[in-house]
Amino acid sequence: MSLPRLALTALPFLALAFGASPALAHAGHEHGLVAGFLHPLMGADHVAAMVAIGLWAASLGWQRGWLPPVGFLAGMAGGIALGLAGGIGLGFGVVETAVAGSLIVLGAMLAMAQPFRAAVALPLVLVAGLVHGLAHGGEIASAALPTAFGMLAGSALLHGFGAALGVASARYAGALRFGGAAIAGFGALMLLS
């Protein structure tokens, strides 16, 4: 692959990794279906996680590629429910640290480009979804059901975007590894800030 093509392929990953504001704050704290849908689209940490799941799904192929998004969304739905019920006693800082940690793990899994057994991968995906769901669910104050449904739908859209990006970059051998490294690096930056 030529260097200009590799650089062009890397642009979306770099935008994810370095496009967040220092506070990682984002809009979408209103409530209702549309606000819930927009919420995951407005935070670089959430976008990076959802795209990572989609990239991973694309790397698995059509027969097993549905597992990471479905597992993540199931974990996320459970996390939203826990967040709405008052959480599990973790403070906001702990949840945000866990979100950053999930980016490091998901990014590292992509960067290694190794096939992971479902018995290992699915629990990791469920926990990552649970953590992101806790972060989302703790931010919902009213119109809980439509807001939560919108958050899940917005996340699914980002999974689809990540899968499409993964399919499009599949012919570039290092693109998936580079994307994973960028996502893991972004998670590490979140931990440091």
pLDDT in tens, 6-19: 444 554 554 544 44
Report in angstroms the alpha-carbon separations of 80 from 23, 91, 132: 22, 15, 8
pLDDT bracket for residue 29 (50, 70, 90):
low
CA dihedral angle for residue 34, residue 35, residue 38, residue 43, rounded to 10 degrees: -170
Does residue 161 carry a pLDDT above 70? yes
Overall size of the chain counted in residues: 193
Predicted structure pTM score: 0.81
Distances (CA, A) of 127 to 72, 98, 103, 133: 8, 10, 12, 10
- What does the pLDDT read at residue 12? 54
> What gap in Å lies between CA 11 and CA 140, rounded to an integer?
33
Is pLDDT at 26 greater than 50 in this prediction? no
Q: Answer yes or no: are the C-beta atoms of 67 and 172 closer than 8 Å.
A: no
For residue 137, give every residue at least 6 positions away whose Cβ sits within 8 Å of its Cβ, in sequence order, or none.
79, 80, 81, 82, 83, 84, 87, 148
| pLDDT tens-digit map of 81-129 | 998 887 676 676 788 899 999 999 999 988 987 777 777 888 999 999 9
Inform me whether the pLDDT recorded for 166 exceeds 80: yes
pLDDT value at residue 17: 46
